[in-house]
């Protein structure tokens, strides 16, 4: 028997750092740039940066410095490629952290900040208490900290930085694009593939349940073993979605779990990666599940647990015709009689599996 997933499971937290933000002077390198010191990378810095990068942990910079001089030194040390949306200037470190988080579209409660100065760490602690602060003297042991050790390092983990760099190129092109948003999306030549999950997908699927908070309908987290039990269960349907476009692959960006009951199907989980929030693909997986339910002549129900980030997923359900039928301690149950299904968007090419046989 599969273990029943309870509402309380949505509240289970596994603290995991998604982004490490570094100071520069006397943190990544020895010396102070603007005082004319002869700078030298601290011992072990390159190894730490590479290890975090291999694990899929993003990295950035928050430094009070002259941008051109500091970026020139990072390039001279050949470590500039590790850092996304670096904030080098004269603003407070806490403000720099907020800019980086907004640019990456991930929560500040998944950030760690490394600085040698107690004042700078205290300023971040006071202003953004959810950010973990680390004294730069602990740099060598950062990779061994529990919060820096994901359970799985997948093939997509190793590509995470390059995936975000592809996003930066998309965003740059979009800023100068003269047409409307749908025309821009068409210009990306996106291809979305939806398929049943295989065993090789399960590490990434577990990672999605742990890492994704905004485009997540319930917040349930499932382990590899639980997901594999669902995959093998005749009463459940576990599916993943993959996205690519002319700039490259975004990897596995969607996950859904459907429980097939007599007379209706229950959508227990629907997740889309926050990276693709602006690319108009959030409702496609739901629309496909609706088509499956219609093919099998059943109503579709869905669980939804609201938090301070996932309102867009509630809007997605409402836009696709779901109505609330019950509420229990914050757990909403929605239903759709499948009388109307919105069309798939024209700006994306879909690769969909054959509709499942009726159950």
- The phi, psi pair for 45, rounded to 5°, reads -60, -50
Give the pLDDT confidence score for residue 16 in this predicted structure. 84
What digits encode the pLDDT tens for the residues 62-85? 999 999 999 999 999 999 999 999
Give the pLDDT confidence score for residue 60 in this predicted structure. 98
Listed in sequence order, the residues at least 6 apart from 189 whose beta carbon sits closer than 8 Å to its beta carbon are 245, 246, 349
Task: Report yes or no: 63 and 172 within 8 Å, Cβ to Cβ.
Answer: no
What digits encode the pLDDT tens for the residues 137-185? 999 999 999 999 988 888 888 889 999 999 888 888 988 898 899 999 9
Task: Report yes or no: 105 and 274 within 8 Å, Cβ to Cβ.
Answer: yes
Give the pLDDT confidence score for residue 355 in this predicted structure. 63
Give the pLDDT confidence score for residue 216 in this predicted structure. 84
Query: 236-245 and 248-261: which strand pairing?
Result: antiparallel
Question: 354 pLDDT band (50/70/90 cuts)?
Answer: confident
What digits encode the pLDDT tens for the residues 311-350? 888 999 999 999 999 999 899 999 999 999 999 999 999 9
Question: 100 pLDDT band (50/70/90 cuts)?
Answer: very high
Say whether 312 sits in a helix, a strand or coil. helix
CATH class of the domain defined by 19-148: alpha beta
Listed in sequence order, the residues at least 6 apart from 178 whose beta carbon sits closer than 8 Å to its beta carbon are none
Calculate helix-pair angle for 155-176, 45-54, nearest 10 degrees: 90
Say whether 274 sits in a helix, a strand or coil. helix
Say whether 184 sits in a helix, a strand or coil. helix
Task: Report yes or no: 247 and 270 within 8 Å, Cβ to Cβ.
Answer: no
Task: Report yes or no: 346 and 281 within 8 Å, Cβ to Cβ.
Answer: no
With 0-12 CB in 10 A as exposed, 13-18 as middle and 19+ as buried, what is 178? exposed
Mean pLDDT over residues 24-34, rounded?
97
State the Cα–Cα distance between residues 22 and 97, nearest whole angstrom.
Answer: 10
Task: Give the helix, strand, coil percentages of the chain, each rounded to 5.
Answer: 40, 25, 35
**Alpha helices, DSSP H, located in 39-194:** 45-54, 67-76, 93-104, 118-127, 155-176, 181-187
Give the pLDDT confidence score for residue 12 in this predicted structure. 40
Average pLDDT, rounded, for the chain: 90
- Quick one: DSSP state of residue 154? -
Mean pLDDT over residues 275-297, rounded?
89
Specify the residue for token string 């599916």.
Answer: 239
Q: Which two tokens stand for residue 285?
A: 């997986």
Q: Is pLDDT of 282 > 90?
A: no
State the Cα–Cα distance between residues 21 and 100, nearest whole angstrom.
Answer: 9
Specify the residue for token string 């009951």.
Answer: 261
Q: Is pLDDT of 25 > 90?
A: yes
Mean pLDDT over residues 250-271, rounded?
93
State the Cα–Cα distance between residues 181 and 347, nearest whole angstrom.
Answer: 10
Ranges of each domain in the chain: 19-148, 158-351
Give the pLDDT confidence score for residue 2 in this predicted structure. 38
Compute how many other C-beta atoms are within 10 angstroms of the C-beta atom of residue 124. Answer: 25
Question: 13 pLDDT band (50/70/90 cuts)?
Answer: very low
Mean pLDDT over residues 104-115, rounded?
93
Q: Which two tokens stand for residue 153?
A: 């390092």
Task: Report yes or no: 358 and 296 within 8 Å, Cβ to Cβ.
Answer: yes
Task: Report yes or no: 96 and 105 within 8 Å, Cβ to Cβ.
Answer: no
Mean pLDDT over residues 252-256, rounded?
93
Q: Is pLDDT of 11 > 80?
A: no
User: Is the Cα torsion angle 43, 44, 48, 54 positive or negative in sign?
Assistant: positive
Can you name the CATH fold of 158-351? Answer: Aminopeptidase (3.40.630)
State the Cα–Cα distance between residues 130 and 257, nearest whole angstrom.
Answer: 30
State the Cα–Cα distance between residues 264 and 290, nearest whole angstrom.
Answer: 11
Query: 19-22 and 58-64: which strand pairing?
Result: parallel
Q: Is pLDDT of 94 > 70?
A: yes
């Amino acid at each position: 028997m599969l273990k029943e997933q309870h509402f309380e499971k949505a509240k289970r937290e596994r603290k995991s750092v998604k982004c490490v933000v570094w100071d520069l002077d006397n943190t990544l390198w020895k010396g102070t740039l603007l005082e004319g010191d002869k700078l030298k990378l601290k011992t072990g810095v390159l190894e730490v940066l590479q290890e975090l990068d291999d694990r899929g942990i993003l990295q950035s910079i928050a430094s009070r410095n002259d941008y051109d001089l500091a970026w020139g030194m990072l390039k001279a040390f050949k470590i500039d490629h590790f850092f996304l949306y670096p904030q080098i200037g004269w603003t407070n470190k806490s403000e720099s952290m907020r800019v980086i988080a907004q640019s990456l579209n991930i929560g500040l409660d998944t950030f760690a900040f490394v600085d040698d100065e107690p004042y700078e760490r205290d300023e971040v602690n006071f202003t953004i208490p959810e950010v973990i602060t680390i004294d730069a003297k602990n740099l060598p042991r950062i990779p061994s900290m529990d919060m820096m050790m994901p359970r799985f390092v997948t093939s997509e983990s190793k590509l995470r930085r390059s995936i975000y760099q592809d996003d930066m190129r998309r965003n740059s092109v979009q800023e100068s694009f003269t047409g409307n948003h749908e025309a821009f999306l068409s210009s990306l030549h996106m291809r979305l593939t939806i398929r049943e999950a295989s065993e090789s997908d399960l590490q990434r699927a577990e990672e999605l349940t742990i890492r994704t908070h905004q485009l997540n309908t319930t917040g349930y987290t499932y382990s590899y073993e639980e997901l594999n039990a669902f995959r093998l269960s005749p009463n459940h349907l576990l599916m993943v979605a993959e996205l690519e476009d002319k700039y490259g692959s975004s990897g596995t960006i969607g996950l859904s779990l459907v429980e097939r009951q007599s007379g209706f199907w229950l959508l227990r989980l629907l997740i889309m990666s926050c990276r693709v929030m602006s690319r108009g693909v959030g409702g496609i997986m739901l629309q496909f599940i609706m088509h499956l339910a219609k093919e099998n002549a059943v109503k579709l129900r869905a669980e939804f647990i609201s938090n301070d980030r996932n309102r867009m997923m509630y809007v997605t359900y409402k836009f696709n015709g779901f109505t609330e039928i019950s509420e229990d301690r914050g757990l909403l149950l929605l239903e759709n009689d499948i009388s109307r299904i919105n069309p798939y968007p024209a700006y994306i090419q879909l690769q969909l599996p054959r509709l499942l046989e009726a159950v």
